[in-house]
Amino acid sequence: MAYVIRQEDMHPFMRRSPVITPGAAVQLYQAEEAAQPLLSLELVHKPFEKGNLFRFSASFARNVMVQQLQDDTMLSMHFQLHGYSDANIRHMGGWPFAANTHNIMYLETPQLDLLFPAQDKYRYFIITLTAGVLQEKFAHIPAVIAPLCEAIHHQRPTRAFDQNLPMQPAMYQVLQDMYNNPFTGDWQSFYLETKTMEMLALQVGQYAALSQDKQPGTALSARDTDTMHAIRAYATANFLEPLSLQGVARSFAINEYQLKKQFRSLFGQTLFQYIHQCKMIYAKEQLNATDKQVSEIAYELGYSHPSHFISSFSKYFGVQPGKSR
């Protein structure tokens, strides 16, 4: 069972709370006498001329559902860095979001319910844009985003990609650049808009490349798709453990060849590329959020020697871990 919060229930709390300033933590208690908050939320908001950047960091002591949430018409770019959430959007249905995935969405005065399972490290970025920004930026709409632009023109809610796509290293860097942008005033707006267009190019470019790689007749069945999503969720939860292709395949009653082929077909990367991605993201967060030594993180990730970890991290992020802090 989830603790239910309706949008109207949030307003009195928001008004009486002095800590809803962007960048500060909001804590909501299930009861006045509760010792531990039901949820703790930190919101960072960076506006620019054509849109907004939001970063949500949260922890949930138990399952929480926010019901009947209403928002403005928008084109939005979504990035789930940590944790899991599920949205039930009017006229669109369910939209689950797992860690390290992204998508682009257009919503027309949306009404939605959001479900957040109990979790400690929920982190989510969203970039919102005015609905007409794509038409403004492109004299000729690229074919790969033509369906999205058509949906916007007809005010029809849609998502750009049928499946959320795995985030790429460059995307994490763009989000970090936007979050830590060194400018103020007009230059901040210009910088954030430029980075937003860079991110859009990364997202759409990845989708275009994956679309070209798909061969006719290779679409997965609903059952196979569910299995691949379950395998990725399993890898997300257990990437610190010594996983093998044979062991994962056996756990999900699938042969290794099918696992390799279907995982890559659906997510655009191999299972072990995804596990490596999880390890690198975890390492970067440990470097930024803790005082752990590089060698300690290396051994935690299963590297036999810190130098191997340093090499992998440097290749992935383009900077040595010691200089990433």
Predicted confidence at residue 17, as pLDDT, reads: 38
Beta strands 3-6 and 64-70 are: parallel
pLDDT, one tens digit per residue, over 238-285 is 999 999 999 999 999 999 999 999 998 888 789 999 999 889 988 988
Angle CA 163–165–167, to nearest 5? 160
Predicted confidence at residue 302, as pLDDT, reads: 95
User: In the chain, pLDDT over 70 holds for what percent of residues?
Assistant: 86
Helix (H, G, I), strand (E, B) or coil at 166: strand
Task: Please check the confidence at residue 134 and state whether its pLDDT lies above 50.
Answer: yes
pLDDT, one tens digit per residue, over 177-200 is 999 888 988 999 999 999 999 999
Burial of 221 (0-12, 13-18, 19+ CB in 10 A): exposed
pLDDT, one tens digit per residue, over 32-45 is 444 566 778 888 89
184-214 CB burial, b ≥16 within 10 A, e <16: eeeebbebbbebbebbbebbbebbeebeeee
Average pLDDT value for the chain: 83
pLDDT, one tens digit per residue, over 154-173 is 888 888 988 888 888 889 88
Give the global pTM: 0.72
